[in-house]
Amino acid sequence: MTPDEFVNQYEFVYHVCYEDNWKSIQRHGLLCASVLLTRGDFEEKNRARLERMRRPSVSAFTLDGEKVFIRDQKPTVPDENYHLALNERVYFFVGEDGKKKAENLCEVYRKKGDTQRILKIGSRKLLNAHSGEVELHPLNVGAQRNLPENWRSKWFVPLRNWHPQKKIAEMTIVGSVPEIMNMLAPDFE
C-alpha cells in the first residue's frame, strides 16, 4: 500500500490518550511508552520492568514535572520482546470504524473514572512525515494471548508491504511523533 492509497481510504486516524497527558503531548508530541519511560522519573530496574513485562494497571509518573500516564496491557503473553515491541510504537485507529473504536475505548476508561481525549489526525500530514515508520496490523496486537511463530512479520507489517484490500485493525508509528500538534485535523477540539 502506498501512502496515497492509505490516505484515499483513511483521511483521518485517531489516537486515544489520557486527558491528563494533554499538556505533555502539547509540549513533547506523542511519545511511545518506551520513550516516556526513558525520560520519566524511574530507576532503571523499574523502567525495564514496565517496558518489558505486562502492565496489569495504569502506570503514573512524572515527566519534566508533569504527571503522565501509560496504559495497562491486557495480554498475558510472557515474552519480553513482544512487550518491548508494543512499547516502541504509538497506536492509531483508522477511518470511521477506528473513530468508533476510539469512542468505545474512551467509554471503557470513563467507566473506570479515567477521562480520555481522542486526537483526530490528518493521515496525509502524518504519512508525509512518518511513512517509513508506519506499520499496519491485522488485529489488535496489544490484546493477544498467544504468539504465533513469526509474530513480528505477521503482526507488524510495513505500509509498503500491506495489500490495499486487506482490512486494517490498527496503525502504528515506530518511535514517536513529536510534531503531532501540526497534524491535528482542523475540526479537532
153: in domain: yes
The structure's pTM equals 0.91
Provide the domain limits for residue 117: 3-182
187, part of any domain: no
Query: What pLDDT, on a 0 to 100 scale, did the predictor assign at position 172?
Result: 96
Within-domain flag for 107: yes
Element (H, E) at 136: strand 134-137
In a domain, 158, yes or no: yes
**pLDDT of res. 114:** 87
Q: What is the pLDDT of residue 150?
A: 82
Number of independent structural domains in the chain: 1
| Nearby residues of 66 by Cβ (< 8 Å), 6 or more positions away | 23, 24, 27
pLDDT at residue 41 in the model: 79
pLDDT of 180 strictly over 90: yes
Which of 67, 36, 66, 29 has its CA nearest to residue 51? 36
Helix-helix angle 44-52:80-87, to 10 degrees: 100
Q: Is 188 inside a domain boundary?
A: no
pLDDT digits (tens, 9 = 90+) for 32-77: 989 988 888 777 777 777 787 777 777 778 888 888 888 877 766 7
d(CA 10, CA 164): 11
For the stretch 153-173, pLDDT in tens is 888 899 999 998 999 999 999
